[in-house]
Amino acid sequence: MSAFSDPFREARASTGVLQCPFHGETITMILRHEDVRKAAKDWQTFSSDVPFRVPIPSEEDVRSMRQLPIETNPPEHAEYRELVEPFFQRAKDPAMMAQVETLIDSLITRTLESESIEIVNDFALPVQSRALTYLLNVPESEAEIWIGWGIHVFKVTGGEFKKGTVLEDYLHQKFDAAEANPGTDFFSALVKAEFHGRRLTREECMGFANLAFAGGRDTIIHTISCALGYLAEHPEALEFLRADPKRITLASEEFFRVFMPLTHIGRVCPADTDVKGITVKANERISLAWASANFDEQAFPHPHEVRLDRKPNPHLSFGFGTHLCLGAPHARLILRTLLKLCCERVKSIHIVKAEERVEHEAQFDRTLGYDSLVLMMEPL
């Protein structure tokens, strides 16, 4: 099992675009690395100021507020982003780095002491949830609530999208508490923040928090699961990293490139726009296909090979341009720490059972990780 696939190879090599129906609308997917990067920077032509329509499929049915700052354009985007950036930069703080290492170390200990462990729900989900408490500066006990939501905050694991009332009700409670008794946490910072000389509205606060919980959840869970699955399938990879821990940084970036959880993200054309010979009408969407760009032969020699020492590696797994992912330092910290501790403590990893997750769309099927992955780890 590879846990990744590239269904866009033929279209990328021919026209560089693919038109695909998504839930009632046909969206033109931009596939090539250079074209995706150019479009990501051209916010005047390809706008993000489109509430609910940046994710594909759209999320009108699963949330009631615009996500911030991702669903805005410059200059508003930078001004919004500045309000929360200090929390996302906490991933570079030595104290938080130590917390994440202690967390992952404890879960590896539990895994080594067990006959086997289901990685997606019993390892990756707790890592993601507990590490997020450190990032948002809230009590770690809050993670137990978040773990109870499952892998996806907007849908039942493996099932259909549902209205995000559980998340929204939780966030309203947190903002109510922060207004009554503000502290130094993420929720308190938002209720105290000022934007253009005024306090943020509740809807704006909710927009920030909604993205913080939804944007970095199944993405990090996916990357952890796929990286461990790869090390299990390729024991020589773990030995390669163990021989020189300096290789971990490059290996992490290669895992981010190959195991891209987000196929694409949407933009809306304010005016009729020619996209590689296809006319996209005003107010219609296009897709920035990150997952295709990450396998573009023009940017990555032998892109279907996992090269743990790949350099340079201009992958687009954290986006590009204005909307470069706020959570990138957090994701990098988690994956690098995981690989470091595996090198130090784990002799070998074996797959007991694996169920791949496949994205089924009208024009393509894309393998993107695991619904379930049961592993056994042998200690050094």
Q: Where do the structural domains in the chain lie, given as residue ranges?
A: 74-260+305-379
pTM of the model: 0.96
Over the stretch 213-244, which tens digit does the pLDDT of each residue have? 998 898 999 999 999 999 999 999 999 999 99
Instruction: State how far the alpha carbon of 361 is from the alpha carbons of 24, 75, 364, in Å.
Output: 12, 35, 5
Q: One-letter amino acid identity for 211?
A: L
CATH number for the domain whose boundaries are 74-260+305-379? 1.10.630.10
d(CA 67, CA 79): 14
CB 293 within 8 A of CB 31: yes
CB of 354 closer than 8 Å to CB of 1: yes
How many C-beta neighbours within 10 Å does residue 154 have?
Answer: 21
% of the chain exceeding 70 in pLDDT: 96
> Distance from CA of residue 133 to its chain's centroid?
17
Q: Low-confidence residues of the chain, pLDDT below 70?
A: 1-2, 154-165
- What residues does 365 pair with on adjacent strands? 360
